[in-house]
Amino acid sequence: MADAPARLVLVGFMGVGKSTVGRLLARRLRYAFEDMDRRIERRAGRSIAELFRSEGEEAFRARELAEARELEPLERRVIATGGGAFAREDTRAALQHGALSVWLRCELDVLLGRLQPDGSRPLAGNREIMRALLADREPSYRMADVTVDATGTPEEVADRVLALVRGRRGPVRR
Ligand code: S3P
């Protein structure tokens, strides 16, 4: 694919399927798959929940920025971001640079139905908390290059993303 972006960066709220769809996309594009949360956990030797407990959110955001900067020069990567990564200006800038960013968008109730209440997401809360967090995040998700409807199966969502990637002509904006 002559015009394929060096990196495809998936952004969006918790539970939208960034990792599942990302893995499918990487396979189909023959790109490597990078999951920012898993990279952070590997590097720290601790889970996200443990990191939030021991270091707090700001330290976690610094870890996200460091990961985004490490990924910035790499090519042929599909990157699944954590739901808050794109909301930070410096992390967003590193993620967007030379990449095609894709907002996987979905209604809150669909997202809530997908989230497992397993304690792995420290910021997940009741419906009101999630509604407020999503409202807070949406302006930054809107800064992604393209928006894709993330309802349906992961395969359907991956098909939509691929159709968009293949339909684009010329280099990405940044
Ligand atoms: C977060 C989302 C999580 C993870 C962390 C914080 C957020 O990633 O990075 O729990 O701030 O929305 P997922 O979007 O993969 O759940």
User: What's the CATH code of the domain at 61?
Assistant: 3.40.50.300
In the predicted model, what is the mean pLDDT of the chain? 94
Q: pLDDT, tens digit, for every residue of 62-80? A: 999 999 999 999 999 999 9
The tens digit of pLDDT for each residue in 84-93 reads 999 999 999 9
Query: Is the minimum distance from the CB of 121 to ligand 1 under 6 angstroms?
Result: yes
- Chain-centre distance of CA 137, in angstroms? 12
Residue 1 Cα to ligand 1 midpoint, Å, equals: 31
pTM to 2 decimals?
0.94
Write down the pLDDT at residue 100.
97
Q: Within a domain: residue 173?
A: no
Quick check: is 174 in a domain? no
- Angstrom distance (rounded) from CA 63 to CA 82: 11
* Cα 70 to Cα 64: distance, rounded to the nearest angstrom: 10
Pocket of ligand 1 contains residue 64 by CB under 6 Å: no
- The answer to whether residue 49 sits within a structural domain is yes
Q: Each residue of 20-63: pLDDT tens digit? A: 999 999 999 999 999 999 999 999 999 999 999 999 999 999 99
End-to-end CA distance of the chain: 19
Asked whether residue 109 is assigned to any structural domain, the reply reads yes
CB atoms inside a 10 Å sphere around CB 63: 21
* Structure tokens given for 150: 């993330």
What pLDDT does 174 receive? 47
Ordered DSSP codes for 132-151: HHHHHHHHHHTTSSEEEE--
Buried-state track 2-27, b at ≥16 Cβ within 10 A, e below 16: eebbbbbbbbbbbbbbbbbbbbbbbe
Please give the distance, rounded to the nearest whole angstrom, from the Cα atom of residue 156 to the centre of ligand 1: 23
- Total of domains in the chain: 1
pLDDT > 70? residue 173:
no
Q: How far is the CA of 131 from the centre of ligand 1 (A)?
A: 15
**Helix, strand or coil for residue 117?**
coil
**CA 54/CA 118 separation, integer angstroms:** 19
Q: Is residue 80 a contact partner of residue 18, using CB atoms and an 8 Å limit?
A: yes
Query: What is the pairing mode between strands 7-11 and 99-105?
Result: parallel
Decide if 2 is inside a domain.
no
- pLDDT band with cut points at 50, 70 and 90 for residue 172: low
Q: Ligand 1: does its nearest atom lie under 6 Å from the Cβ of 82? A: yes
Boundaries of domain holding 127: 7-167
Centroid of ligand 1 to alpha carbon of 14 (angstroms): 6
Predicted pLDDT of residue 168: 76
Q: What is the rounded average pLDDT of the residues 111-117?
A: 88
Choose the residue to mutate in 10, 23, 34, 37 for probing ligand 1, maximizing ligand atoms within 8 Å of C-beta.
37
Q: For residue 139, is it within any domain?
A: yes
Give domain status of residue 14, yes or no: yes
- Residue whose CA is at the smallest distance from ligand 1 atom 1: 83
Percent of the chain with pLDDT over 90: 86
What is the model's pLDDT at position 171?
Answer: 52
Separation of 3 CA from ligand 1 center, angstroms?
Answer: 30
Identify whether 172 is part of a domain.
Answer: no
Pocket flag, ligand 1, residue 122 (CB < 6 Å): yes
Output the residue whose Cα is nearest ligand 1's atom 4: 82
